[in-house]
Amino acid sequence: MTTRKSFIYGTDRIEYEVSFVPVKHHRLSIHVHPNGTVRVDAPEKRDHHEIHRAVLKRAGWIKHHLDEFKRQREQALPRTYASGESVFYLGRRYQLKVKTASRRTPGAKLVGGQIYVETSSRQPSAIRKCLSAWYRNRATDIFTRRIDEIVDGIKWLRQPPTWRLVRMQKQWGSCSPAGVILLNPHLVKAPRECIDYVISHELCHLQEHNHSPRYYRLLRKIMPTWEKVKTRLDDMAELLLNE
């Protein structure tokens, strides 16, 4: 299960989320992510008061990292969608190359270390629209193949679930009460193992609609290294979600 707590540091109220991990001898660990969230992973039988005391002992460290990530976000440059800018695809950086092609249908393609975008206009909005359409097409293809392969290894799932792409500002995915999985097309910018983690995370919600110890046991069977992969994805979130 997951619980939310908070503490006061100076004039700030800092919220944190506690996830109880069903692993023997697992040590309590605190993670501060670039998007400003604080997560505490604790053994499932650890006392709440003990966890809170441990968090308070590292309050200064948490505040320092939150301030640093906030500073980085404020200094992050908005995308200009001009030739030479870096864009991500499957965890790799590619150089954006914009070409004017008035007689052709707008489109994008991957060529070597560059992603070519051909449009009739060099307006950032037109280039962004074209690039977004390319990402959605790639996401549809890649997510379909990854879902099929992951589901094939899950005994309690007989067939791939219904899913669709939905742009989200902060979430990579979600699972509706009706069992429909929603995936953020921006996820296709992440490494494949991160894509697999998000898909696995949402598939487990088809069985467990919570973050209980049973849920995490299911997730660990599918992806034993999910914590490491999640941390990697969280650390890249600011770059991958930047538009």
**CA dihedral sign, ordered 128, 133, 135, 136:** positive
The DSSP string of 51-118 is HHHHHHHTHHHHHHHHHHHHHHHHHPPPP---TT-EEEETTEEEEEEEEE-TTS--EEEEETTEEEEE
| Token pair belonging to 25 | 């001898």
| Cα 168 off chain centre by | 10
The total number of structural domains in the chain stands at: 2
124 and 227 co-located in one domain: yes
Q: Which of 40-44, 99-103, 136-140 has the highest mean pLDDT?
A: 136-140
Judged by DSSP in three states, 228 sits in helix
Arithmetic mean of pLDDT, 60-74: 84
**Spatial separation of the C-alpha atoms in residues 84 and 92, rounded to whole Å:** 15
User: What is the per-residue pLDDT for 105?
Assistant: 76
Arithmetic mean of pLDDT, 117-138: 92
Residues 205-236 have pLDDT tens digits of: 999 988 888 899 999 999 999 988 998 898 88
Arithmetic mean of pLDDT, 82-91: 92
User: What is the per-residue pLDDT for 128?
Assistant: 92
103 and 188 co-located in one domain: yes
21 and 95 co-located in one domain: no
| Token pair belonging to 220 | 């660990």
What is the phi-psi region of residue 9: left when phi exceeds 0, alpha when psi lies from -120 to 50, beta otherwise? Answer: beta
Q: Which domain range does residue 10 map to?
A: 2-75
| Token pair belonging to 192 | 């494949």
46 and 71 co-located in one domain: yes
- Using the 3D structure, point to which of 24, 49, 75 is the last residue of a domain: 75
| 117 — pLDDT class (breaks 50, 70, 90) | very high
47 and 128 co-located in one domain: no
Domain containing 217 — which CATH number?
3.30.2010.10
Domain membership flag for residue 81:
no
65 and 102 co-located in one domain: no
- Judging by beta carbons within 10 Å of its beta carbon (0-12, 13-18, 19+), is residue 60 exposed, middle or buried? exposed
**Spatial separation of the C-alpha atoms in residues 232 and 160, rounded to whole Å:** 26
Residues 1-25 have pLDDT tens digits of: 668 899 999 899 999 999 887 765 5
- Using the 3D structure, point to which of 38, 55, 75 is the last residue of a domain: 75
In the 8-state DSSP scheme, what is residue 163? Answer: E
Residues 154-188 have pLDDT tens digits of: 999 888 999 999 998 878 999 998 999 999 999 99
The model scores a pTM over 0.85 = no
Domain membership flag for residue 176:
yes
